[in-house]
Amino acid sequence: MIAFIKRYEGLWLFTRSPAAIIAAIVAFFSIFGAIFAPLIASVNPYDLASFSLMDGLLPPVWEDYGNPKFLLGTDDQGRDMVSSILYGARLSLIIGISAMTIATVLGVGLGLAAGYYGGRFDMIVMRIADIQLALPAILTALLIDGIARGILPTEVQQDLRVAVLTLAIALSLWVNFARTARASTFVQMQKEYVQAAIIMGQRPIRVMFVHILPNILGPLLVIMTVDLASAILLEATLSFLGIGLPADSPSLGTLIRIGMQFMLSGEWWILWIPTVFLVALVISINILGDFLRDVFNPRLR
């Protein structure tokens, strides 16, 4: 086992970094819980028949009047907080991961091409990226949300809310990928193996994806983790402001918005438990991203 760990530098560094280990554990349990939410959670918070108003506003078990059925208490509708958080994390992670994936594909594709071809194409892509950066993510999301409301028929609007939200977040994140991919591609273009491939007469697509891409994956992986955290936060922000998901399919942001109403009225758990969970999840993903950066960049070690 030890010999195996020592063979791989990343693993070896991992065993020497307590922060990374704790972050990995937190992230693992959150993601595990989110994936298997339907199996773990005692009630389905989307199913109105599975909970009862009579159980509303119960505190966590360790407080007076706590009910062992609801470990972390219930909200005003009587929904179990544990189940809500698991389902909420599930939605948040689905949106975060798909937004990040779309942003990666879009950003890396454009960035690679901009770095490879340079010149006018590069200029156009990068100016679009600059404009994108000048718009706050919330504004982009509002814009897309507004457009979607305008052109989509009312019946499908509810069903497509997740897709619209994902697209809005992806559009505000792709710039990071494009810029990093472009800069790394510039560096690789100077390397002689790329010149060798061009001299041989290989097709540009092949040079970009077979030769350059594997060599710039390191920094891109780091951005993927960091941007996953941003995507989750962005979704939470949008839902908190009411642009995101509605109260009947709560993500973490929606849960926090609902909890806001009870912040000063004694039912602290409705606000604080999802908030702490969100912060822990985002911090652990960020720590993992930092750790990855250290692994890929020996000079920072």
Partner 1 sequence: MLKVENLSVRFPSRFGDITAIEDVAMSIAPGEIHGLVGESGAGKSTVGAAIIGLLQAPGYVATGSMSLGETDLRNLSLVEAHHLRGKRISMIFQDPQTSLNPLMRVEDQLIETIQAHEDISASDARKRAVDILEEIGIKNASDRIKAYPHQFSGGMRQRVVIALALCTNPELIITDEPTTALDVAVQSKVLDLIRELANSRKIGFMLITHDIGVIAQIADRVSVMRRGKVLESGTTRQVLGDPQHPYTSALLDAVPPLDRKIDRFRMPDEEKQSHGKDAGDAAEAWLLQGRDADKIGLQISGLCVEFPGVRTSLWRKPNSFTALNDINFEVRPGSILGLVGESGSGKSTLAKAITGLVKPSSGQMILGGQELPNGRQRGRGHPSRQMIQMIFQDPYSSLNSRHRVGRILSEPLWLYGLVDDANERRELSAAMLNLVGLEPDAIDKYPHQFSGGQRQRIAVARSLLARPRFLICDEPTSALDVSIQAEILNLLKDLQAKFGLTILFISHNLAVVRQMSDDVVVLRNGKIEEYGKGQTIFENPTADYTKELLSLTPVLPKNWN
User: Between residues 4 and 62, which has the closer beta carbon with respect to partner 1?
Assistant: 4
The alpha helices in 67-118, defined as continuous H runs, are 81-117
From the list 86-94, 110-118, 194-202, 235-243, the region that binds partner 1 by CB under 8 A is: 194-202
The least distance separating partner 1 from the CB of residue 12, rounded to whole angstroms, comes to: 5
Size of the site for partner 1 (CB under 8 A): 18
User: Between residues 151 and 300, which has the closer beta carbon with respect to partner 1?
Assistant: 300
Q: Is 74 helix (H, G, I), strand (E, B) or coil?
A: strand
Residue 221 binds partner 1, judged by CB under 8 A: no
Longest dimension (CA), the chain: 76
State which of residues 71, 198, 221, 280 lies at the interface with partner 1 (CB under 8 A).
Answer: 198
Question: Which is nearest to 173 in space by CA: 257, 95, 287?
Answer: 95
Angstrom distances, CA of residue 220 to CA of 88, 104, 185: 28, 8, 11
Question: Which is nearest to 139 in space by CA: 178, 92, 187, 172?
Answer: 172
Place of tokens 């109260």: 247
Residue 193 binds partner 1, judged by CB under 8 A: yes
The least distance separating partner 1 from the CB of residue 210, rounded to whole angstroms, comes to: 8
From the list 143-151, 210-218, 229-237, 261-269, the region that binds partner 1 by CB under 8 A is: 210-218
The least distance separating partner 1 from the CB of residue 117, rounded to whole angstroms, comes to: 11
Residue 195 binds partner 1, judged by CB under 8 A: yes
From the list 33-41, 139-147, 196-204, 278-286, the region that binds partner 1 by CB under 8 A is: 196-204
Angle between helices 81-117 and 119-134 (to 10 degrees): 150
From the list 152-160, 186-194, 236-244, 246-254, the region that binds partner 1 by CB under 8 A is: 186-194
Question: Beta partners for 121?
Answer: none
User: Between residues 159 and 192, which has the closer beta carbon with respect to partner 1?
Assistant: 192
Q: Which residues of 110-145 are buried (b: 16+ CB within 10 A; e: fewer)?
A: bbbbbbbeeeeebeebbeebeebeeeebeebbbebb
User: Between residues 119 and 153, which has the closer beta carbon with respect to partner 1?
Assistant: 119
* Tokens standing for residue 17: 């970094």
Residue 201 binds partner 1, judged by CB under 8 A: yes
| Contact yes or no for 249/239 (Cβ under 8 A) | no
Residue type, 191: K
Residue 6 binds partner 1, judged by CB under 8 A: yes
User: Between residues 39 and 300, which has the closer beta carbon with respect to partner 1?
Assistant: 300
Residue 203 binds partner 1, judged by CB under 8 A: yes
Query: In the 8-state DSSP scheme, what is residue 214?
Result: H
The least distance separating partner 1 from the CB of residue 22, rounded to whole angstroms, comes to: 22
From the list 75-83, 161-169, 189-197, 223-231, the region that binds partner 1 by CB under 8 A is: 189-197
The Cα 113–Cα 63 span in angstroms is 58
Binding positions for partner 1, rule: CB under 8 A: 6, 9, 12, 191-193, 195-203, 211, 214-215
